[in-house]
Amino acid sequence: MDAATKELLRKPRCGLPDVTPPGQNRRKRRYTLQGQKWHHTNLTWSLRTRHLERIDHGWVRADLHKAFQVWSRHSKLTFREVNSESADILVFFEKGYHGDGFPFDGPGQVLAHAFFPGSGRGGDAHFDEDEEWLLNGKETSDGTSLFMVAAHEFGHSLGLSHSSVQGALMFPWYQGHLRSDSELPDDDRFGIQILYGSKDDRIWGNIPAYRPTPEHPTTKTTTTTTTTTTTTAASTTTTTTRAVTRNPVTNSVTITPRVTMTSGTTRTRSPDVRIIPADDKPNYCNTSFDAVSIIRKDTFFFKDKYTWRLGVKNGLYPGYPALISRLWYDLPENMTHVDAVYEKQDGKIVFFIGRRFYMFNGNILVPGYPKPLTALGLPEELDHVDAATVWGHNSKTYIFSGTMYWRYDDETERMELDYPRDMAIWRGVGTNINAAFQWHDGVTYFFKGRDFWKFNDLRMRVDRADPRSVGQFWFNCSAAADGGSDKGRVTVVKGKTDGRAGDWPTESGDDNQTPNSSAVPVRGGPPLLSLLPIAVVFLRRRRSS
C-alpha cells in the first residue's frame, strides 16, 4: 500500500458501501447509477431532528437547502422543504447506534450515510451528530463542511452510488473543496442527468473510457477496476442496501433486503448440476481443490465429494480420500462439492454450499442450520462463495467471491459496513480463487487451479509472483504425476525443504511446522474427527484491510 493510499484511508468518508449495479461492472463508465430513481422530479425534504446540541438549527437547514440546489441546478429535479414525516427525503442527525443497522463511530471516519430511492426509509439521509460540523461555508482544518457532505449524501438519496473519480462529488472520501456556487463536476453531472434529464434536455458528452484492472494486479496499489473502484483499500463492486420501514409512533425500524448487486463473478457452481460417479476419486497430484482448511489442527483438502486429511507430523492419513459426508453426515445427501470451509475461532466448522452455509460442532450440525448466505449479510444474488478464512493478521473472518471480498466480525456477528471491497487489495492473488486458509504459522495461502501462493501480510501482496504446485508442495507428488515441471517442487528431509520453495511454509527444521510428508495412503477407514473442544484465546489486533 503506497503513501497516497494510506493518507486517503485516514480521511473521513461516507458510510455507504461502494456499489456497482448488475451489468455495470464491465462498462467503461466512472459515475455509477445505483439502479433506483424517483419516479417524480418535484421532491420534498424535511429535517426531522429538532434539537441539535452544538450547531444552529437554522444554519443547518440553510446548508441542506444549498446541497439540494447543487443537484437541481443541473437536472430537472426540484426540491421543497416541508414540515412533514411524509416527505420524500427525511434528514436526521444521530449518534452511535440509531436503529438502522449502520451505527456511527463518533468524530472522524464515517461522517454520514443515506438510503437509495424507494419506499420506507428510502432516500433518507443520516448525519453523525458527534462530528465537528462547519456551517455557512466555513472551512477550517478542524471541522467538516456540512454542505459538502450533505451534497454527497443527497446524491445517494437520488440514486447515484460512489464514483471512482477523485475530485467527483460522489467520490467516497471527504474532499471538502466544493462551494455552494460551484459547478457540479462533470462525472456527477452526467450521472444525475442520465437519471433525471437536464434542464435543456441536453446530456453532456460521454466520460472518457479507461482500461480495467488486469485480473492479476502486480505492483499498483490504486486501481480503477470497472466502474466504482476507488483505491485498493476500499474499492468494491457490490453491496447490499437495506430498506427500513418507518414506525411513526416508536421510531423503531424493520430491516429487510431491498436491492442487492451481482458480484461480477465469472465462475458459477451449483450443487445440483455436477454429478460425479461414485468411484471417480480425484487424483490429488493433478487436481484443483474446492476448499482447504485447518480443522482440529489437521489440514483438510476438499474436492468434489471427497476430502484428504494431512497431519502436521505424519502427512496423509491412511484411508483417504474419504467421502465428506462420512465425517459430516448432516450435509446434503445430493452434495457434489463444497464451495468453502473454515474453522471459527471458537472451534465450530462452517461449510459453504451454494446459497447456504452449515455450522458444525465437531461433526454435529448446530441447531438452526443451514442458513442462507444473506444471514451473514451477503447479497441476495450471490449464489456461492469462493473461499473463507480467518486472517492471522487481525483474526477477522474474510469471505471471498469473484472480484470482491467481505469482512465478518464473529464477535458482533455482523458483516462490517464498509464491505465488500475489491480483490485488488490482495495484490497478486487475482480473482475467482478456489480456496484460502491460514496455516499453523499464521500465514495465509491462496489457491487457484493447481497452484497456490503464500501471502505476505505486511506487504499486502503475494510473497512471490510465480505460484507453487499444490500437488508437489503439499502432497509430495513428482513433477510427472503433477503434469507439470519441477517448478515449486519441495523435497522433504526430516521436516526441511530443499530450499527451492523459498522459506515457506517454514525453514525452522521443526517437524511440527512441515505440512508435507512422504507418507503413503493405505487401505482402511479414515479416523473420525476428534470432537474434543479446544480452548481459544481471542486477541484484539489493530484494524486492517
278 is in an annotated binding site: no
Look at the block and give the residue holding cell 426531522. 48
Q: What separation, in Å, do the N-terminal and C-terminal C-alpha atoms of the chain show?
A: 11
Is 122 marked as binding a ligand?
yes
Amino acid at 309: R
Q: Would you say 152 is a known binding-site residue? A: yes
**Cβ-based neighbour number of residue 91 at 10 Å:** 26
143-175 in b/e burial notation, b at 16+ Cβ within 10 A?
ebbbbbbbbbbbbbbbbbbbbbbeebbbbbbbe
100 is in an annotated binding site: yes
Q: Is 113 annotated to bind ligand?
A: yes
Catalytic residue among 94, 129, 132, 153: 153
Cβ distance 407 to 396 under 8 Å? yes
- Cβ atoms within 10 Å, residue 490: 22
Is 383 marked within a binding site?
no
Q: How many angstroms separate the Cα of 227 from the Cα of each of 389, 403, 441?
A: 28, 13, 38
User: Is 128 annotated as a binding-site member?
Assistant: yes
416 as an active site residue: the answer is: no
Beta strands in 96-184 (DSSP E): 112-114, 125-128, 133-134, 144-145
Q: How far apart are CA 488 and CA 452, in angstroms?
A: 10
3-state secondary structure of 147: helix
**In which residue are the cell numbers 440509531 written?**
98
Helix (H, G, I), strand (E, B) or coil at 151: helix
Q: Which helix (H) or strand (E) holds 192?
A: helix 186-196
CA distance 174 to 171: 8
Q: In the structure grid, which three cell numbers stand for residue 367, read together?
A: 441447531
362-to-324, 366, 419, 425 alpha-carbon distances in Å = 13, 9, 30, 34
384 is in an annotated binding site: no
* CA neighbor of 428 nearest in space, from 470, 467, 389, 485: 467
- Residues 534 and 272: their CA atoms lie apart, in Å, by 35
Q: Is 124 marked as a binding-site residue?
A: yes
Cell numbers linked to 453: 501462493
Residue type present at position 274: R
Is 346 annotated among the ligand-binding residues?
no
337 labelled binding-site residue: no
Do the annotations mark residue 290 as ligand-binding?
Answer: yes
98 labelled ligand-binding? yes
Q: Which residues contact 415 (CB under 8 A, 6 or more apart)?
A: 376, 377, 378, 406, 407, 408, 409
- In terms of Cβ atoms closer than 10 Å to its own Cβ (0-12, 13-18, 19+), residue 136 is middle
CA distance 231 to 220: 10
339 marked ligand binding residue: yes
Annotated binding site: 14, 88, 98, 100, 105-106, 113, 122, 124, 126, 128, 131, 152, 156, 162, 170, 290, 339, 388
Residues with a known catalytic role: 153
Annotated binding site for Zn(2+): 14, 98, 100, 113, 126, 152, 156, 162, 170
Annotated binding site for Ca(2+): 88, 105-106, 122, 124, 128, 131, 290, 339, 388
